[in-house]
Chain A
């Protein structure tokens, strides 16, 4: 157990639907990062939150959004889902002022869009 909790582990949904993925960071970590991993794209950085504020954006589609709540958990919302959104979605967290510390990743949510 890495200390980063992602739910659900698996999600199957239809095209056009909306889903919410949840991430609880490791205790004490203020930063949360979301990554998408599809078969042909590798690990793609989506977005970072630090203590409730958006800090960095990567290749995140406009149909996707995220937020980090006061208790530091984060949610990634995916809407108008397409077949190509099928992927593993990982959340990671890191500590305060953590340029020199690594990320801790969760075990991921496998999203299948049918």
Chain B
């Protein structure tokens, strides 16, 4: 699976959009970009995933560049409860036998 690079930490004001970047320059054609988050000591929580197109769900939006070498997770209106470590993971979209490998992620701190 391709490796990813994320900033170690970011700050965001409550109510503002949080834009979390991720570089995955070695991503291959059949690999998906996944985002998870982990609120302190809780189990990681799936946020969103995508292959080529931008995706949106009730939690966030995922913007993937045309060359697929980077992506941005957008939390449109961050709240204090969005303070967490956010993981960007690239994984083959095959039969499900490949596993998720977590890096160090980005610690997002949302402040009042």
Q: Do A and B bind each other?
A: yes
Q: Tell me, rounded to whole Å, the shortest Cβ–Cβ distance linking A2 to chain B.
A: 7
**Using a CB-CB cutoff of 8 Å, which residues 13-64 of chain A contact chain B?**
31, 33, 35, 42-43, 45, 48, 50, 55-56, 58
B92-103, CB under 8 A of A: which get 1 and which 0? 111111111111
A88-B41, A105-B45 as given contacts; A99 in contact with B99, CB under 8 Å: no
Asked whether any CB of chain A lies closer than 8 Å to the CB of B21, the reply is: no
Which residues in B have their C-beta under 8 angstroms from that of A56? 97-99
Which residues in A have their C-beta under 8 angstroms from that of B102? 35, 42-43, 45
Interface size class of A (residues with CB under 8 A): 20 to 34
Residue in A90, A98, A101 whose beta carbon sits within 8 Å of that of B44 in the complex: A90
Interface size in chain B (residues, C-beta < 8 A): 27
A97 with B99: CB separation less than 8 A: no
Can you name the residue of chain B whose Cβ is closest to the Cβ of A107?
B43
A33-B99, A45-B100, A45-B101 as given contacts; A100 in contact with B46, CB under 8 Å: no
Cα-based distance from A99 to B94 in the complex (angstroms): 5
A42-B103, A42-B104 as given contacts; A99 in contact with B44, CB under 8 Å: no
Q: Tell me, rounded to whole Å, the shortest Cβ–Cβ distance linking B111 to chain A.
A: 24
A100 with B99: CB separation less than 8 A: no
B42 with A108: CB separation less than 8 A: yes
- Using a CB–CB cutoff of 8 Å, the interface residues on chain B facing chain A are 32, 34, 36, 38, 41-46, 49, 51, 87, 91-104
Given pairs A90-B43, A92-B100, 5 additional interface contacts (CB within 8 A): A56-B98, A99-B91, A99-B97, A105-B43, A107-B43
